[in-house]
């Protein structure tokens, strides 16, 4: 079992930045990749970005590419999501997720096996 704890959410004005963190309870070889998703009220959970623990390969959704950056610190078992140029439509609950070992990097929620509790991000206009 892998436990994930997100932090770093909050209220920010449009154009501002936030950095989310996701700390994993187990060593990185217990998972193959980490991802960030978000879910706004009344909408489906949306993939944002993913990163592999081993090589640091990354993949982004088109909607956030160039504004959001995913990174990881293997020594700290922590993944980050740096969010710049935030817009009101970025308002949502943000979740980190982990895939079980030996899986191809996924972009759908059902490809991830472990989830954090979520952190609220609110962008005011």
- Rounded Cα gap, residues 77 and 116, in angstroms: 14
Q: What is the pLDDT of residue 28?
A: 61
Cβ pair 6, 21 in contact under 8 A: yes
Q: What is the pLDDT of residue 55?
A: 84
Q: What is the pLDDT of residue 27?
A: 63
pLDDT one digit per residue (tens) for the chain, 125 residues: 789 999 999 999 999 999 999 999 876 656 789 999 999 999 999 999 999 888 889 999 999 999 999 999 988 989 999 999 999 999 999 999 999 887 888 999 999 999 999 999 999 99
- Rounded Cα gap, residues 93 and 41, in angstroms: 9
């Amino acid at each position: 079992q892998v436990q994930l704890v997100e932090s770093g959410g909050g209220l920010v004005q449009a154009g501002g930045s936030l950095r989310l963190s996701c700390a994993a309870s187990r060593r990185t070889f217990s998972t193959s990749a980490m991802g960030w998703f978000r879910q706004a009220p009344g909408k489906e959970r949306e993939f944002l970005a993913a990163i592999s623990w081993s090589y640091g390969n990354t993949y982004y959704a088109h909607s956030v590419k160039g504004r959001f950056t995913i990174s990881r610190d293997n020594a700290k078992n922590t993944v980050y999501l740096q969010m710049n140029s935030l817009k009101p439509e970025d308002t949502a609950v943000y979740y980190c997720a982990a895939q079980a070992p030996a899986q191809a990097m996924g972009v759908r929620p059902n490809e991830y096996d472990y989830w954090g509790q979520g952190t609220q991000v609110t962008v005011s206009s």
